[in-house]
């Protein structure tokens, strides 16, 4: 079984059974059930991005249909009979693999139609795997449609495409359709781990997670990066090797950068940029990595990071503690600002993250604060919300509220602003308040907590209004309070 030549991992570790295909259980189980029930369709359509297992699954299905070890199609092809071996190597005479991109003419498909009538020579089925089927010409699609409308009983078509919307509806409706998913990060990590263990190559988990993230759900891409890493790393594959091979910036830099932002440490921020430049890293890519990092912080703040990020636990814990130090509003704004900065880079990532930030913003309604309700809140705040505020501190509350919002949450002085309110309503953190939709109309005199009011003020437009009202607030505070009792 030892192979003479070096095989890239993607080929060497290509799944040979339905059970080996990762991340597509919804498909492999359905196919196995159909085979077990002897309900085998004549046309399948496999849809999904490149490198996630469409052709691999098509070959396993072909083996399942034509394996010689049993008398009928099997869910467990033997992988040792002549048919199984020939299919795995791509040279079975009864399993024809066609690249739709280069065989896309009417003549090509007519040839298939003539050929398909002939009985398979030593198999139960004659199987056509047409990759990139969306590339067929309209005439070729018509010819194909006629064939799959009335196929000979021994014919099976497996069509694969990355762009289902380019496949005519008439074809799609004749096929059993299977949508392949991008593979979740933990599953890719599991696969990479299994490969390296069998290859007896040492690694760190952080390295594997970084590879899986870079592959963005593509198994083949992950395996290709792993190939490069094995050649590059001398001994154990580490997180740092991945960053070197992919030209990324070490995450420690992103942690430090975020801490420096939180600490308002401008010298440190500039020093970090200097370091990145000195390492010869691409600044455009660096900004994208910052963007991705802040997107992760946003996920930590709003959703279940373990499920969505697929990072090691200690990374998540580190990011969660940083995320807690930002308000939701600030994180959204930072993400939008970094996304804005990458706009010139024509980045899919930037577009996606800007979209996510917008959706979170909309769903939390952090900015939908009308001036009317703002004024009402300010009035309520002046009456109720900040009992311990020195009543006539000259630059007082207005100045504080209009401070740059990035650091509005910096705890010490902020908390002293409203200790009683916080104690009385412990469920209301500033972030919670920001998540709550602003009430459309607060009745005059309604009581609003300092946190709610501050959250309402967390928008730059509103901050400007606050500036205007600053003097007014001080006036209100100084005026005698109405008796509440
Ligand atoms: Zn077999």
Domain ranges within the chain, ordered by starting residue:
9-179, 185-246, 251-364, 371-478
**φ/ψ (deg, to 5) at 98:** -120, 130
CA of 214 to the centre of ligand 1 (A): 36
Per-residue pLDDT tens digits for 341-376: 877 666 666 666 776 776 776 666 544 455 556 666
CA of 168 to the centre of ligand 1 (A): 35
Looking from the CA of 234 toward its CB, the CA atoms found within 13 Å total: 0
The residue among 70, 69, 57, 51 whose CA lies nearest residue 24 is 57
CATH topology of domain 9-179: Rossmann fold (3.40.50)
CA of 38 to the centre of ligand 1 (A): 17
pLDDT class of 78 with cuts at 50, 70, 90? very high
Least confident piece of the model among 23-32, 223-232, 454-463, 472-481 = 472-481
CA of 220 to the centre of ligand 1 (A): 25
CA of 71 to the centre of ligand 1 (A): 11
Q: What is the pTM of this model?
A: 0.63
CA of 51 to the centre of ligand 1 (A): 25
CA of 77 to the centre of ligand 1 (A): 5
CA of 122 to the centre of ligand 1 (A): 12
Average pLDDT of the chain?
79
CA of 89 to the centre of ligand 1 (A): 13
Per-residue pLDDT tens digits for 309-345: 767 778 888 999 999 999 999 999 898 888 888 776 6
CA of 25 to the centre of ligand 1 (A): 22
CA of 36 to the centre of ligand 1 (A): 16
Please indicate whether residue 175 or residue 374 has the higher confidence score (pLDDT): 175
Neighbouring residues of the ion ligand 1, judged by CB less than 5 Å? 67, 69, 77-78, 81, 84
Least confident piece of the model among 24-33, 42-51, 232-241 = 232-241
CATH topology of domain 251-364: Zinc Finger, Delta Prime; domain 3 (1.20.272)
Question: Considering only the top CATH level, what class is 185-246?
Answer: mainly alpha
Residues in the chain: 485
For the cut 90, the answer to whether the pLDDT of residue 203 exceeds it is yes
CA of 69 to the centre of ligand 1 (A): 5
């Amino acid at each position: 079984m030892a192979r003479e030549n070096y095989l890239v991992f993607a080929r060497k570790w290509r799944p040979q059974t339905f059970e080996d295909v990762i991340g597509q259980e919804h498909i492999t189980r359905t196919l196995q059930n159909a085979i077990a029930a002897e309900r085998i369709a004549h046309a399948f359509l496999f849809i999904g991005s490149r490198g996630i297992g469409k052709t691999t699954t098509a070959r396993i299905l072909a083996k399942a249909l034509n394996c010689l070890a049993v008398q009928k199609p099997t869910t467990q092809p033997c992988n040792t009979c002549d048919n199984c071996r020939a299919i795995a190597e791509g040279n079975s005479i009864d399993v024809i693999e066609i690249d739709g991109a280069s065989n896309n003419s009417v003549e090509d498909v007519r040839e298939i139609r003539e050929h398909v009538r002939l009985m398979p020579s030593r198999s139960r089925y004659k199987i056509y795997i047409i990759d990139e089927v969306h590339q067929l010409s309209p005439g070729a699609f018509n010819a194909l449609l006629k064939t799959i409308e009335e196929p000979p009983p021994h014919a099976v078509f497996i069509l694969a495409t990355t762009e289902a919307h380019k496949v005519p509806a008439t074809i799609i409706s004749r096929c059993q359709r299977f949508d392949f998913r991008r593979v979740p990060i933990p599953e890719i990590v599991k696969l990479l781990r299994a490969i390296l263990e069998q290859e007896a190559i040492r690694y760190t988990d952080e390295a594997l997670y970084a590879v899986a993230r870079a592959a963005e759900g593509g198994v083949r891409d992950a395996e290709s990066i792993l190939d490069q890493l094995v050649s590059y790393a001398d001994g154990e594959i580490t997180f740092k090797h991945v960053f070197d091979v992919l030209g990324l910036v070490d995450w420690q830099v992103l942690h430090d950068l975020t801490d420096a932002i939180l600490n308002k440490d401008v010298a440190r921020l500039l020093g970090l940029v200097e370091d990145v430049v000195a390492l010869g890293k691409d600044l455009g890519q660096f900004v994208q990595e910052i963007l991705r990092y802040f997107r992760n912080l946003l996920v930590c703040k709003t959703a279940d990071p373990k499920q969505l990020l697929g990072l090691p636990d200690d990374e998540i814990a580190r990011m969660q503690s940083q995320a807690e130090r930002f308000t939701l509003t600030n994180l959204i704004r930072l993400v939008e600002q970094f996304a804005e900065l990458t706009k010139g880079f024509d980045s899919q990532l930037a577009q996606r993250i800007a979209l996510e930030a917008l959706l979170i913003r909309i769903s939390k309604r952090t900015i939908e604060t009308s001036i009317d309700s703002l004024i009402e809140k300010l009035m309520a705040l002046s009456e109720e919300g900040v009992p311990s505020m020195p009543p006539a501190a000259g630059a007082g509350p207005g100045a504080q509220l209009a401070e740059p919002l990035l650091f509005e949450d910096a705890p010490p002085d902020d908390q002293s602003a409203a200790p009683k309110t916080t104690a009385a309503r412990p469920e209301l953190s500033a972030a919670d308040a920001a998540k709550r939709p602003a009430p459309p109309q607060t009745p005059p005199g309604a009581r609003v907590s300092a946190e709610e009011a501050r959250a309402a003020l967390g928008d730059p437009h509103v901050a400007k209004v606050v500036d205007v009202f600053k003097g007014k607030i001080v006036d209100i505070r100084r005026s005698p309070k109405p008796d509440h009792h």
